[in-house]
Structure 1
Amino acid sequence: MKTIITLFTIFLISLQCSRFQFGSNQTKDETAGAVVTFLQGNISITSQGKENKAKIGDVLRPGDRIITKLGRVDLQTYRGEVIRVKDNSDILFRDIAGETKTNTDIHMLAGNLLVKSVKLKSGQNLSVTSPTMVAGVRGTVFSFELDKGSVPKVKVYEGAVSVAFKTSPKLVEINEGLSVENYNRLVKTLEENEVVLEPGETLEVNPNLNELVYLINAKVSANALTNEQLTGFLDLDNGLSKSQTVISPQEKAETETLVSITSETIKKQIERQNANPSEISKVDTIEKEHEVKRAEALNQIAKDAEKAGLDNEEEIHKHYSILETIHKSNGEVLSGAVVAQLGDIFIVHSTKGVFQLSVDDIEYVEYRNFKVNTKAKK
């Protein structure tokens, strides 16, 4: 499987160069980077072969990799994109936009991303790829999820995302057993399965199409892809499709917590790291700005919850599709739903009202037979 993934990664790089013009600007751009603006838990960054624990103010460069375990991290690029890498993710930043570099290319090996793009100009690109897929966006908010052994999941909250599979034109040249006619049919099948997702739509992937992509790359490695092996895949009509889905209040709230700080602060941090990479990051401004923006977002989420006017369990359950019991540290018990959580602050919509509670205010939260501890009991 590792060999297959590696091979398809090579294909995808070739694809992106032709489709999205990735790597078209070979001049080094010292401003190309993304700054860690917020994090929780255990996050590691690997840069130039060295792995370090992530901290606020760190600057990621093209080629750097982030691995999250029980934690998440928010990044903001020089161009202004905000990227949240969630728990249990393994992400490679193949390219990051800067002052002259036009592309941000994020490759997901596993995990879950929430991305908020800026409005891109002509020639600028933002893409998220997996070992079998490429998603290209322009000014949007979307999630991209990939569990090991499963097909990618994409959901759009704002704007639009184009999702497609592609193959390399070198496939015919290095495989004598594959006819030009069958190759052309294969490419046509894949290209016609490109879909554009809009707000409230999610991606549906035919597992056979994923299998096809892996098969192609495995067989290309052995120079052994034959017409017979392609027979079952050439007439796929339904490789990629889309379906309408509900954007839950919790999902909407999370997109609103994906806040950005001033571009001047991001640019100064990148410049500071360029001037003296070994210098301890000056993060006070980053922390303060992000804290203010977080508070504004959480306050708005709380106000929106209050406007809903829900004050009984049935209404809350219907609106949020869950019903939880929040056990506070002072012994008080609230019945309702956790609407949003960022950092140490929870927004709770209960039958007694809407509250902003810190992690120290909450002993644990129960959902049916599940219990989530927010801190170790004393």
Structure 2
Amino acid sequence: MKTKMILIPILLFSLQCSRFQFGSNATNDQTAGAVVTFLQGNITILSQGKESKAKIGDVVRPGDRILSKLGRVDLQTYRGEVIRIKDNSDVLFRDIAGENRPNTELHLWAGNLLVKSVKLKSSQNLSVTSPTMVAGVRGTVFSFELEKGSVPKVKVYEGAVSVAFKTSPKLVEINEGLSVENYNRLVKTLEENEVVLEPGERLEVNPNLNELVYLINAKVAANALTNEELTGFSDFDNGLSKKESVVTPQEKAEAETLVSIRSETIQKQIESPKDNSSNPSEVAVATIEKEHAGKREEALNKIAADAAKTGFDDEEEIHNHYSVLETIHKSNGDVLSGAVVAQLGDIFIVHSTKGVFQLSIDDIEYVEYKNFSVKTKVKK
């Protein structure tokens, strides 16, 4: 006789599921959007079935998708959140906060995000999801990374992030795929295994359980979940946990480069009508570029000043501090031994035995690491 069990929907964040429903606020809010404030390389925006190359000043709306290959892009929302989408990422903007829209919800299919939130009210939310996980924040800086075929990686630089498994909202009927004991363990793990990450902590995910949650999410809607696919899943005792992961000087520096410009500029751009070509005006683009360049310069100057304050001036000290030692070959023939602390656009911050320098990409021939080298331009 077959045993039939019902897997109860898993409610996230203390059973307050409604707070994280995708597109839960259907208000037609014209202020809901995010503006491209900085980009490098080739970035594609998919909007209402159309594909376009991203430009400074472009406005991304709820439902739009961004694809980055060899490039990265920074966006700032109407509410003030700053989001960096790194190389080889695929991100769906399921919702974006506006004046009357409380949620920003990003879905990462693959790639790497760096997110800086603003202080949120109790009725507001910022969440990042993958096919198996959801991370909710309250005024923080964190990264969310997902490689295909791997488990999500979440790391907190500032504030706190609450992470939980994300399962299908529909009931899942399981026939003999799991024993009663394993079924009860699975439900208990998913219901109770919410982890709150704090600065210097990263997420640890049980790959076996992550695979099962993915399987449930992917197949339950199509009623394609079979007993054979469930057989063998038994490691449910450990779902999510956290591990110490010190924020490196390079990570701290990158977080500081995630700068925001005046909210008035962003809000005006989101609310402004487009011309017939759907392009932002030249005046708007110039304003955004000027403000962002000023904030970038402030951030890079601070990073350079903080590096100089360490007083490290020999290779061993620099290596111990940055966990890397590099040889920077300059275009004029000079050679610096040290570490690249940060890079934003065409500017590098280099902490060397000869001091701390801000170098443009044109100043650098190539950077040589201990076991490999990365060329920043064609070697002459």
Distance 2:217 2:47 in 1: 28
Name the SS for the 1:62 alignment partner: coil
Report the AA paired with residue 193 of structure 1.
Answer: N
1:227-306 paired onto structure 2 within 5 Å: 233=233, 236-273=236-273, 278-281=278-281, 282-306=284-308
1:340-359 paired onto structure 2 within 5 Å: 340-359=342-361
Partner of 1:7: none
Distance 1:233 1:27 in 2: 42
Partner of 2:7: none
Distance 2:140 2:343 in 1: 22
Report the AA paired with residue 242 of structure 1.
Answer: K
Partner of 2:32: 32
Q: Identify the range of structure 1 (366-375 vs 350-359) with the bigger mean alpha-carbon deviation.
A: 366-375
Q: Identify the range of structure 1 (143-152 vs 179-188) with the bigger mean alpha-carbon deviation.
A: 179-188
Deviations 1:184-206 (A, max 9, x none): 65332212221110000000011
Task: Report the Cα offset of residue 369 of structure 1.
Answer: 2.8
Name the SS for the 1:69 alignment partner: strand
Distance 1:47 1:111 in 2: 20
More helix per residue: 1
Deviations 1:242-293 (A, max 9, x none): 0001111000000000000000000111111468772443211100000000
Whether the 8 Å CA contact 2:168–2:220 is kept in 1: the answer is: no
Report the AA paired with residue 286 of structure 1.
Answer: I
Distance 1:86 1:178 in 2: 39
Q: TM-score, normalised by structure 1?
A: 0.90
Distance 2:377 2:55 in 1: 22
Partner of 1:6: none
Partner of 1:310: 312
Partner of 2:216: 216
Change in CA separation of 1:46 and 1:225 when aligned onto 2, cut-off 3 Å:
closer
Change in CA separation of 1:90 and 1:218 when aligned onto 2, cut-off 3 Å:
closer
Partner of 2:3: none
Say whether 1:144 aligns with 2:155: no
Distance 1:246 1:268 in 2: 39
Distance 2:221 2:200 in 1: 39
Say whether 1:369 aligns with 2:362: no
Report the AA paired with residue 299 of structure 2.
Answer: A
Partner of 1:115: 115
Distance 2:102 2:346 in 1: 36
Partner of 1:44: 44
Report the AA paired with residue 43 of structure 2.
Answer: I
Distance 2:222 2:47 in 1: 33
Q: How many residues matched?
A: 366
Q: TM-score, normalised by structure 2?
A: 0.90
For structure 1, the 5+ residue unaligned runs are: 1-10
Report the AA paired with residue 43 of structure 1.
Answer: I
Task: Report the Cα offset of residue 217 of structure 1.
Answer: 3.7
Distance 1:292 1:175 in 2: 58
Partner of 2:202: 202
1:137-216 paired onto structure 2 within 5 Å: 137-168=137-168, 170-172=170-172, 174=173, 185-216=185-216
Distance 1:219 1:52 in 2: 32
Distance 2:86 2:193 in 1: 29
Report the AA paired with residue 134 of structure 1.
Answer: V
Partner of 2:6: none
Distance 1:205 1:289 in 2: 40
Distance 2:21 2:278 in 1: 33
Name the SS for the 2:151 alignment partner: coil
Percent sequence identity is 81
Distance 1:103 1:278 in 2: 26
For structure 2, the 5+ residue unaligned runs are: 1-9
Change in CA separation of 1:275 and 1:30 when aligned onto 2, cut-off 3 Å:
farther
Deviations 1:50-109 (A, max 9, x none): 111111000000011111111110000000000000011111101000000100000001
Distance 1:170 1:106 in 2: 21
Say whether 1:62 aligns with 2:62: yes
Name the SS for the 2:171 alignment partner: helix
Report the AA paired with residue 158 of structure 1.
Answer: E
Name the SS for the 1:66 alignment partner: strand
Partner of 2:341: 339
Distance 2:345 2:20 in 1: 35
Report the AA paired with residue 92 of structure 1.
Answer: L
